[in-house]
Amino acid sequence: MTGEALLDRARALLIRTMTFYRDDPRTSTWLRGRLERLEQPLRIAVSGRVKAGKSTLINALVGAELAPTDAEERTQVTTFYQYGPEPKIMVHTPQGTVQNVPVSTLDAGTIRDLQHWRPDEVSRLVIESPTPGLQAITLIETPGVASAAVQETGRSALAQILSEADAVLYLTRYPRQTDLQFLQSVNELHTARSVPISTIVAFSRADETGSGGPDGLQAAERIAEKFRNDPTLRSFAQHLIPVVGLLGQAVTTMTDEDFNALANLARLSQNDLEALLLSADRFVNSKIESIPGPVRQRLFERFGQFGLGRALTLLRSGVTEPKKLRTALLDESGLNSLHETVHQQFVERQDALRARSALLAVDMVLRANPRPGVQQLQGEFERMLANAHEWDELRLLSALDSGQVRFTRPLQAEAKRLLGAFGSSPQERLGSDDGALAEAAAAALARWRQQSVNPLHDRVHRDAVRTVLRSCERLVVHQANAPQRPAQPHPSQQQPVQQPAQQQTGQHQQPAQQQRGRRSSEGQHRSGHHQVVQPQQVQQPRRRRAAHQAPPQQQAQHPQDPPGAHSRP
């Protein structure tokens, strides 16, 4: 079963649950909102501790300065950043009303003022922007875990916000026990614990690790490696990535003016540069006529001391083209690694994540509002959760990508291929053509059966081998049940039938066109690391199918929370 088939089953269960609760307007409306979300861009919540750098990292990921950044805690209101054809700000109140704030451009000051309202005045902000970085995903900025807004509304309110997202990017300056406890509480539902594929943890200010300075990023990577092997963390997250968010934001929004100013600084002598970078005060207030003080102050605010040091070092080493400088600095910041991980873990696996969100919604309703006759839905839910091998595959793929599970190099590569890392078709999983699929499946099954009795494997690797072994077994069963294709004679041996020229042309062209259509469809499913999946393009057929299945109830634009949702952390 592919991720798309898994999503179809989850959608069908969500619709049946909504039909079962159709006499409860509050619950059915909330479920309808969850159903409509399955056709919208993937939602990623950006959460974490106060001043962990959420706004800065959002700007870096999007490639535009949308989220206001301040030295003080500002974000009191949950803010959605989503794609729209023109700039737009919508203010949602706790009473359910929506007010449009007329804007021609998205001014950071306007958004900052709205974010500072109290939660009892504004429940959420929705910022629409024509930024290309928001076409495939919607980013949700939440108040800090220990912020005044969370203390006022309760920790369960923040957990409820995170439940509205399909995935979570959690930011921290250094993982603490409170971070782990909070993430555990968010993933306390049985569905979330069974499918821990939706969380990435980022050191968002990795350059400040330890004493900071040039060695800060290396120190952050050593700490990250330690926490990747922490059993508590790996129970709900496979990736922990050090990132210098400020440098990432500066590079993705760097102007020609910024580049020219950096190039002028790089022409100074080594002694002068070392003296300038000793402190922020020296960098801004030193008397250098070639680069005015206000320009240097802007550079320091945008790049920070670590970013300036790396940029100037690269410029002096011969990286003098803006494009090459951006590429090198993105690698230095860790943003390229984060981008790739978000794409692999979230965007490429969006069908599985949406299915997870649908099952979470069903789980929440069945727990919060049990009633007679719900046993059939509960049983279907449990069967689907237990038999969805696709989630086991995704969980293991994440562990292989992050280094939590390591086999020898040949086994590592084969495991990823068999798990569907390079495509979900039997040909792609087995690395073989149609004529040898049965033999390739049997050989892979035999190899991984040998690994299942390897006494050198610990428990983690034995569990991993069992997951790969089950994928092999499914491939063998698939080939056994596949219809046998008759052998096709070589084109040179085929006897052409004499037909009119136009009819012959039509018959020979149609299969080629169909084949090209299939290859194009498979190409979209196997998007590369840097290719963005456009949900609005691939989801359209599902939208029509869901519309025929959904019960004829009036659609609500702003679903309410399910009964009892705020009583749980």
Mind giving me the DSSP string for 389-420? HHHHHHHHHHHHHHTSS---HHHHHHHHHHTT
Which regions of the chain are under pLDDT 70?
Answer: 1-3, 71-75, 146-161, 188-197, 210-214, 484-569
Q: How far apart are CA 387 and CA 259, in angstroms?
A: 54
Chain position carrying tokens 């998205």: 106
Rg over alpha carbons for the chain, rounded to the nearest Å, is: 27
The pLDDT, as a whole number, for residue 158 is: 61
Determine which helix (DSSP H) or strand (DSSP E) holds 89, and give its type and residue range: strand 88-92
Residue 302's contacts (CB-CB under 8 Å, 6 or more residues apart) are 246, 249, 250, 258
The pLDDT, as a whole number, for residue 308 is: 92
**What's the pTM?**
0.75
Chain position carrying tokens 């994928």: 471
Q: What structural domains and CATH numbers belong to the chain?
A: 3-244+335-358 (3.40.50.300), 248-333 (no CATH), 374-481 (no CATH)
* Buried-state track 374-387, b at ≥16 Cβ within 10 A, e below 16: beebeebbeebbee
Q: How far apart are CA 13 and CA 279, in angstroms?
A: 59
Lookup: tokens for 150: 């969370």
Q: How far apart are CA 396 and CA 406, in angstroms?
A: 11
The pLDDT, as a whole number, for residue 527 is: 38
The pLDDT, as a whole number, for residue 519 is: 39
C-alpha 518: how far from its chain's center? 27
Tens of pLDDT, residue by residue over 335-382, are 999 998 898 888 888 888 899 899 989 988 998 899 998 999 999 998
Residue 449's contacts (CB-CB under 8 Å, 6 or more residues apart) are 469
β-sheet with 239-242: strand ranges across: 98-101, 88-92, 124-129, 78-83, 137-141, 42-48, 167-172, 199-203, 239-242
The pLDDT, as a whole number, for residue 143 is: 81
Under a CB-based contact definition with an 8 Å cutoff, are residues 231 and 180 in contact? no
CA distances from 13 to 4, 382, 419, 535 (A): 14, 11, 26, 21
| Per-residue DSSP letter, 346 | I
CA distances from 246 to 217, 261, 282 (A): 13, 18, 20
The pLDDT, as a whole number, for residue 213 is: 66
The pLDDT, as a whole number, for residue 194 is: 61
The pLDDT, as a whole number, for residue 129 is: 93
Taking residue 396's Cβ as centre, other Cβ atoms within 10 Å add up to 24
The pLDDT, as a whole number, for residue 184 is: 76
The pLDDT, as a whole number, for residue 485 is: 55
